[in-house]
Chain A
Amino acid sequence: GEDVEQSLFLSVREGDSSVINCTYTDSSSTYLYWYKQEPGAGLQLLTYIFSNMDMKQDQRLTVLLNKKDKHLSLRIADTQTGDSAIYFCAEKRGRLTGGGNKLTFGTGTQLKVEL
């Protein structure tokens, strides 16, 4: 995951918005994902965005993609204590299919929501 970088830690107050950032280096990435990992569990897909999109909104989640700067962000509106988890961005490089459909994951951002 060294080519996909995230800040390690973010702390917000309950009810505020959280913004988790990710930078990647491969301009051939076709789509990008956000996964959530709760303590002691595996990763779960939260949302994704195709490389030809700038923004995607899904309820409290907003994903912004800046292809020029290779920057991806996840905004969580009205953050709740249940949102406390590690958030990973991941990129799918190359063709839409084939190549084993491998993902390159970021280092993960630990989100802590305080009361």
Chain B
Amino acid sequence: NAGVTQTPKFRVLKTGQSMTLLCAQDMNHEYMYWYRQDPGMGLRLIHYSVGEGTTAKGEVPDGYNVSRLKKQNFLLGLESAAPSQTSVYFCASLKMASFDGTVLGEQYFGPGTRLTVT
């Protein structure tokens, strides 16, 4: 298994440009997530998906759109990039497992995409 992969690894955009970040997982996980990581702020959830064809807003969804047309892929789009969107973006997928009769979710993270908007 490749696990969770993200493309591209790095990108520099000019203000107003658009781009799509791709997240792929080969573990047949239902749930997938997009986070952004900024210094001193931890990870903040942008959007998430509980299954193919479904998406939902997270904590900081403004300026981003997502799509989950296939179970294994979760796309994050920036329609008109702004300098405030300079960040490291992480994708994750969730495995649910039973532990002593209790269902536990473990998130598996991709390596991240470093995006700079000038």
A residues near B, CB below 8 A?
Answer: 1-2, 4, 8, 31, 40-45, 48, 50, 88, 92, 96-97, 100-103, 105-108
Contacts and interface: CB of A to CB of B under 8 A. Distances in A.
Most chain A CB neighbours (cut-off 10 Å) among B41, B44, B105: B105
Interface string B83-110: 0000000101010100000111111011
Most chain B CB neighbours (cut-off 10 Å) among A1, A40, A44, A45: A1
By size class, the interface of chain B is 20 to 34
B31 interface: yes
A107 B40 CA distance: 6
Given A42-B109, A42-B111, A108 B42 contact: yes
A110 to B, nearest CB: 10
A96 B43 contact: no
Contacts of A50: 102
Given A100-B31, A100-B56, A44 B109 contact: yes
Contacts of B42: 1, 4, 88, 105-108
A36 B17 CA distance: 33
Contacts of A92: 105
Interface of B: 4, 31, 33, 35, 40-45, 48, 50, 56, 58, 90, 92, 94, 96, 102-107, 109-112
A8 B106 contact: no
25 contacts: A1-B42, A40-B111, A42-B4, A42-B110, A42-B111, A42-B112, A43-B90, A43-B107, A48-B104, A50-B102, A88-B42, A96-B103, A97-B96, A100-B48, A100-B56, A101-B96, A101-B105, A102-B33, A102-B45, A102-B48, A103-B107, A105-B42, A106-B42, A107-B42, A108-B42
A1 B43 contact: yes
B50 to A, nearest CB: 6
